[in-house]
């Protein structure tokens, strides 16, 4: 065995160290999966072994679950039979007591490994996180989790863990009876050993005579209520877009009614179905593998050092958020605004955030004070001093930003200059600069402390070094950077803008607004297009539209959105902020679509009722075509960045893995054909770009296709 070491004590208790060589964290890699049958055979067959304690040698914890790097190549194809559930079952029924010591995380297959043991003891430590997060990457538990968890804690308590994938801490795990005991950190091994030495009946509860499922079986009154509600709630949340949680629900419903061995076969069946779906492939790659690689800086990883001193110009909503995020990561921050009151107000934002954390006991007062000490409000650009990076976050105005850049360069002749502009091309800003190679877009999203994505925008003159430094800065902030090239509107706002536009196009055609909004939500977008337009603010949306028109000149393709927005804005309907926009926002009540929408100029007099599936496709295809155009134009060059960026910035549906993976999922040829049909029906905005047409003609895709399971693995069956 490469990954397990057995140390047999004189008391007959075998201490099994789980330690995958060369890795900071244990996973159920192909190599571990190959070791497991050997481990269990040794435990079962060695008569000197009376009991077993399994523990991890890693500081990070017990095991993070399946190795998605290994699975990533195969996901999306029929899976070769997986021996792990059988091995865990053999472990459970081997007749010897097996305990598991949990000092840190046990997630996915890692928790399923622990659940196959007869006893679990966890450290009373914030490092302990136990959960089955498979659904968050498009999969489902496939090593007994859907069967042991409900049998252990009851269906009603197990379903939220299985369907939502949130982990629980040690104390919650004890309350739920997922672990049998918690002890001080560092003492789990001894506690587990004592239990193993004293245990006289190493039988899982469900293998004992008279076992009853906690909370009752699915056809009991309580069980019926649980499943009916769970089904409805799942559909409300996912609109049937995710095979993973749906198959979890089926596996639990069917599995808890039969003995464990049959139940594990039911789970294996649903696992295989889930694993072969294109959604599983899309999610494992975008939500895990690409996300993990990009969070380390992607192809720019390690090419520059992050700054330690950063100045922020403009202490408004964004500048204040950036200052807080930097200070939270230990960066000395100067926060400059036009007067000291404005700069202090920016710092007060950070104070508000840390006070909340202190109140919730997530932060000590000392740490809070240290964080605030790192933010120095100022008005004089001389305060920039020796900052290595200066970020401007002043009003979105080209002349003002150019002036600010000149002043930054005068005060800090060698600092990298970052702009948080959301719409202005970096190249046009850097025209004001004496060293345009050092000017780079660093586009945060609101609220800065919570949004994971940062778009690093490279202007025509921006140097590689400037890009590398901006990426290193974003990584040091704990953000996920994507690098994009300059264009009118950043990559993410271009894709996202099309969603709002298409909603307005439909409105103008006479599609009922409720249908538009529901179709949007049913695609998996977080909200309907009109609702989001209201949140963005309709006057802002109009001004972006007008600027785009001015900049594009004859190339501007007029749609109904500018007219609709102008009519709403001139009626004082500015969106949520004025309590009136596409929606009405009655005080104390829930918002509702404004009945006057049908009377706006440009909206067809007669309502039409298209098929909801067609509406959904329009809303997704528009975004995907725009992403494909950005790729064609070199605005984004790494398909992973396009996909992860769209998911994190604007909520593009994760089940599709992002806009370019969505095209791969449909097949480029089919996507192009359907877009061509939409061009005929709705106009040239659906026209696929030439690069995508070539790709379709040559049968290529943006991302590598799945590799079928290896013949070796199939032979095991
Ligand atoms: P804001 O209006 O809240 O703040 C702008 C701040 O800049 C104000 O405090 C103002 O006093 C200050 N300011 C103006 N001129 C200045 C000067 N010469 N020197 C120093 N400070 C000056 O605006 P917000 O929302 O924070 O936006 C700032 C930038 O971030 C804009 O470029 C915007 O497009 C961009 N952005 C905004 C996002 C949002 O969701 N609001 C998202 C991403 C980017």
Distance 316 CA to ligand 1 centre (A): 5
Cis link prior to 620 (omega < 30° from 0)? Answer: no
State the alpha helices, DSSP H only, in 478-537. Answer: 491-509, 513-523, 529-536
- Assign residue 58 a region (left: φ > 0; alpha: ψ between -120 and 50; beta: otherwise): beta
- Distance separating alpha carbons of residues 141 and 143, to the nearest angstrom: 6
- Distance separating alpha carbons of residues 536 and 575, to the nearest angstrom: 8
Atom of ligand 1 nearest to the CA of 446: 40
**Residue 716 pLDDT greater than 70, yes or no:** no
> How many angstroms separate the Cα of 154 from the Cα of each of 136, 142, 160?
22, 19, 11
> What predicted TM-score, i.e. pTM, was given to this entire model?
0.92
Q: What are phi and psi of 142, to 5 degrees?
A: -135, 15
CB 284 within 8 A of CB 139: yes
pLDDT at residue number 46 = 97
The DSSP symbol for 688 reads P
Helix, strand, coil share of the chain (percent; to 5): 55, 10, 35
> How many angstroms separate the Cα of 508 from the Cα of each of 70, 500, 516?
49, 13, 11
Distance 356 CA to ligand 1 centre (A): 24
Average pLDDT over residues 386-402: 95
Instruction: Kindly report, residue by residue over 276-311, the tens digit of the pLDDT.
Output: 999 999 999 999 999 999 999 999 999 999 999 999
The DSSP symbol for 489 reads S
- Distance separating alpha carbons of residues 276 and 293, to the nearest angstrom: 24
Q: What are phi and psi of 543, to 5 degrees?
A: -65, -35
Give the Cα-Cα-Cα angle 170, 36, 712 (nearest 5 degrees): 130
Give the Cα-Cα-Cα angle 640, 643, 644 (nearest 5 degrees): 80
CB-ligand 1 contact for 446 (6 Å cutoff): yes
Residue in 149, 173, 169 with CA at minimum distance from that of residue 159? 149
Distance 353 CA to ligand 1 centre (A): 19
CB 393 within 8 A of CB 420: yes
Which residue has tokens 């993973």? Answer: 244
The DSSP symbol for 437 reads G
- Distance separating alpha carbons of residues 481 and 297, to the nearest angstrom: 7
Instruction: Kindly report, residue by residue over 633-682, the tens digit of the pLDDT.
Output: 999 999 999 999 999 999 999 999 999 999 999 999 999 999 999 999 99
pLDDT at residue number 715 = 37
Atom of ligand 1 nearest to the CA of 318: 26
- Assign residue 691 a region (left: φ > 0; alpha: ψ between -120 and 50; beta: otherwise): alpha
Instruction: Kindly report, residue by residue over 102-140, the tens digit of the pLDDT.
Output: 999 999 999 999 999 999 999 999 999 999 999 999 999
Q: Say how many Å lie between the first and final Cα of the chain, rounded.
A: 22
Strand, coil or helix: 23? coil
Instruction: Kindly report, residue by residue over 469-487, the tens digit of the pLDDT.
Output: 999 999 999 999 999 999 8
Sign of the CA dihedral 332, 338, 344, 346? negative
Percentage of the chain exceeding pLDDT 90: 90
Q: Probe ligand 1: pick from 311, 312, 313, 314, max atoms within 8 Å of CB? A: 314
- Distance separating alpha carbons of residues 335 and 387, to the nearest angstrom: 11
Average pLDDT over residues 685-697: 97
Residue 61, both tokens = 């914890």
- Distance separating alpha carbons of residues 668 and 671, to the nearest angstrom: 5
CB-ligand 1 contact for 164 (6 Å cutoff): no
At 131, which helix (H) or strand (E)? Answer: strand 130-131
Instruction: Kindly report, residue by residue over 552-589, the tens digit of the pLDDT.
Output: 788 777 788 889 999 999 999 999 999 999 999 999 99
Atom of ligand 1 nearest to the CA of 403: 18
Atom of ligand 1 nearest to the CA of 444: 43
CB 503 within 8 A of CB 622: no
- Distance separating alpha carbons of residues 252 and 152, to the nearest angstrom: 13
Residue 149, both tokens = 């968890």
Spatial CB neighbours of 307, under 8 Å, sequence gap ≥ 6: 331, 387, 388, 389, 416, 469, 473, 476
Distance 640 CA to ligand 1 centre (A): 30
Average pLDDT over residues 357-385: 96
Instruction: Kindly report, residue by residue over 209-268, the tens digit of the pLDDT.
Output: 999 999 999 999 999 999 999 999 999 999 999 999 999 999 999 999 999 999 999 999
Instruction: Kindly report, residue by residue over 45-72, the tens digit of the pLDDT.
Output: 999 999 999 999 999 999 999 988 888 8
At 102, which helix (H) or strand (E)? Answer: strand 98-102
Q: What are phi and psi of 195, to 5 degrees?
A: -65, -45
CB-ligand 1 contact for 404 (6 Å cutoff): yes
pLDDT at residue number 710 = 56
More confident residue, 583 or 396: 583
CB 457 within 8 A of CB 440: yes
Distance 358 CA to ligand 1 centre (A): 28
At 318, which helix (H) or strand (E)? Answer: helix 317-328
Instruction: Kindly report, residue by residue over 511-539, the tens digit of the pLDDT.
Output: 999 999 999 999 999 999 999 999 989 99
Give the per-residue SS3 of 368-380.
Answer: HHHHHHCEEEECC
Distance 569 CA to ligand 1 centre (A): 22
Spatial CB neighbours of 651, under 8 Å, sequence gap ≥ 6: 525, 526, 527
Average pLDDT over residues 384-397: 95
Strand, coil or helix: 652? coil
pLDDT at residue number 549 = 84
Give the Cα-Cα-Cα angle 508, 509, 514 (nearest 5 degrees): 80
CB-ligand 1 contact for 493 (6 Å cutoff): no
Residue 453, both tokens = 């994505």
Instruction: Kindly report, residue by residue over 143-195, the tens digit of the pLDDT.
Output: 999 999 999 999 999 999 999 999 999 999 999 999 999 999 999 999 999 99
Distance 342 CA to ligand 1 centre (A): 11
At 668, which helix (H) or strand (E)? Answer: helix 668-682
The DSSP symbol for 396 reads S
CB 82 within 8 A of CB 710: no
Distance 442 CA to ligand 1 centre (A): 13
Average pLDDT over residues 363-389: 96
Residue in 28, 6, 33, 26 with CA at minimum distance from that of residue 17? 6
Report strand pairing: 119-123 vs 51-56: unpaired
CB-ligand 1 contact for 319 (6 Å cutoff): yes
**Residue 81 pLDDT greater than 80, yes or no:** no
- Distance separating alpha carbons of residues 370 and 534, to the nearest angstrom: 39
Spatial CB neighbours of 2, under 8 Å, sequence gap ≥ 6: 20, 21, 31, 35
Which residue has tokens 């949007």? Answer: 520
Rg value, the chain, Cα: 28
CB-ligand 1 contact for 441 (6 Å cutoff): no
- Distance separating alpha carbons of residues 529 and 531, to the nearest angstrom: 5
pLDDT at residue number 548 = 80
- Distance separating alpha carbons of residues 250 and 254, to the nearest angstrom: 6
**Beta-bridge mates of residue 63:** 106
Report strand pairing: 61-63 vs 13-18: unpaired
pLDDT at residue number 488 = 74
């Amino acid at each position: 065995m490469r990954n397990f070491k057995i140390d047999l004590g004189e008391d007959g208790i075998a201490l099994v160290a789980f330690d995958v060589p060369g890795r900071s964290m244990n996973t159920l890699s192909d190599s571990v999966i190959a070791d497991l049958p050997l481990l269990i055979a040794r435990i079962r067959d060695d008569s000197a072994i009376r009991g077993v304690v399994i523990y991890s040698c890693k500081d990070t914890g017990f095991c993070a679950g399946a190795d998605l790097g290994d699975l990533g190549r195969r996901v999306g194809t029929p899976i070769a039979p997986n021996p792990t559930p059988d091995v865990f079952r053999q472990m459970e029924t081997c007749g010897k007591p097996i305990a598991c010591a949990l000092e840190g995380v046990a997630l996915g297959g890692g928790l399923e490994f622990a659940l196959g043991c007869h006893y679990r003891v966890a450290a009373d430590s914030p490092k302990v996180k136990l959960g089955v997060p498979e659904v968050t990457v498009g999969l489902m538990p496939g090593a007994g989790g859907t069967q042991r968890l409900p049998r252990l804690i009851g269906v009603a308590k197990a379903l939220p863990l299985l369907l939502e994938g949130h982990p629980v801490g040690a104390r919650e795990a004890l309350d739920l009876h997922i672990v049998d005991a918690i002890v001080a950190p560092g003492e789990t091994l001894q506690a587990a050993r004592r239990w193993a030495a004293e245990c006289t009946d190493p039988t899982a509860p469900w293998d004992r005579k008279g076992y009853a499922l906690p909370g009752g079986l699915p056809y009991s009154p309580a069980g019926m209520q649980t499943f009916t509600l769970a089904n409805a709630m799942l559909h409300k949340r996912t609109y049937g877009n995710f095979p993973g949680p749906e198959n979890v629900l089926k596996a639990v419903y069917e599995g808890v009614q039969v003995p464990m061995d049959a139940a594990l076969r039911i789970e294996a069946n649903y696992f295989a179905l889930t694993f072969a779906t294109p959604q599983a492939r899309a999610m494992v790659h975008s939500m895990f593998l690409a996300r993990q690689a990009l969070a380390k800086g992607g192809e720019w990883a390690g090419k520059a050092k992050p700054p330690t001193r950063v100045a922020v110009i403009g202490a408004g909503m964004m500048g204040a958020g950036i200052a807080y995020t930097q200070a939270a990561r230990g960066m000395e921050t100067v926060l400059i605004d036009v007067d000291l009151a404005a700069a202090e107000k920016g710092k007060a934002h950070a104070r508000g955030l840390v006070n909340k954390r202190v109140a919730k006991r997530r932060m000590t007062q000392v740490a809070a004070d240290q964080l605030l000490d790192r933010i120095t409000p100022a008005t004089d650009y001389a305060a920039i001093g020796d900052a290595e990076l200066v970020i401007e976050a002043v009003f979105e105005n080209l002349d003002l930003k150019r002036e600010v850049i000149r002043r930054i360069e005068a005060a800090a002749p060698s600092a990298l200059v970052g702009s948080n502009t959301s719409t202005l091309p970096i190249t046009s800003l850097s025209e004001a600069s004496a060293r345009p190679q050092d000017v780079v877009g660093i586009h945060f999203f609101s609220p800065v402390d919570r949004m994971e994505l940062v778009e690093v925008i490279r202007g025509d003159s921006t140097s590689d070094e400037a890009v590398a430094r901006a990426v290193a800065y974003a990584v040091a902030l704990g953000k996920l950077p994507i690098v994009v090239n300059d264009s009118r509107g950043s990559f993410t706002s271009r894709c996202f803008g099309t969603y709002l536009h298409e909603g307005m196009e439909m409105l103008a055609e006479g599609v009922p607004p409720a249908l538009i909004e529901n179709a949007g939500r049913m695609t998996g977008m977080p909200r309907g297009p009109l609702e989001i337009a209201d949140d963005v603010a309709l006057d802002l949306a109009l001004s972006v539209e007008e600027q785009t028109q001015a900049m594009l000149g004859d190339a501007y393709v007029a749609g109904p959105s500018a007219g609709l927005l102008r009519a709403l804005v001139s009626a004082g309907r500015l969106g949520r902020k004025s309590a009136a926009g596409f929606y009405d926002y009655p005080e104390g009540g829930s918002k509702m679509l404004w009945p006057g929408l049908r009377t706006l100029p440009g909206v067809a007099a007669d309502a039409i009722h298209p098929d909801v599936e067609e509406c959904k496709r329009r809303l997704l295809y528009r975004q995907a075509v725009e992403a494909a155009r950005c790729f064609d134009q070199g605005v984004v060059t790494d398909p992973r960045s396009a996909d992860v960026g769209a998911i994190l910035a604007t909520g593009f549906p994760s089940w599709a893995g992002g806009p370019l993976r969505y095209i791969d999922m449909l097949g480029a040829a089919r996507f192009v054909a359907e877009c061509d049909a939409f061009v005929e029906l709705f106009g040239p905005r659906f026209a696929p770009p030439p690069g995508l047409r070539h790709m379709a003609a040559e049968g290529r895709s943006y991302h590598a296709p799945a590799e079928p399971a290896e013949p070796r693995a199939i032979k095991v069956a």
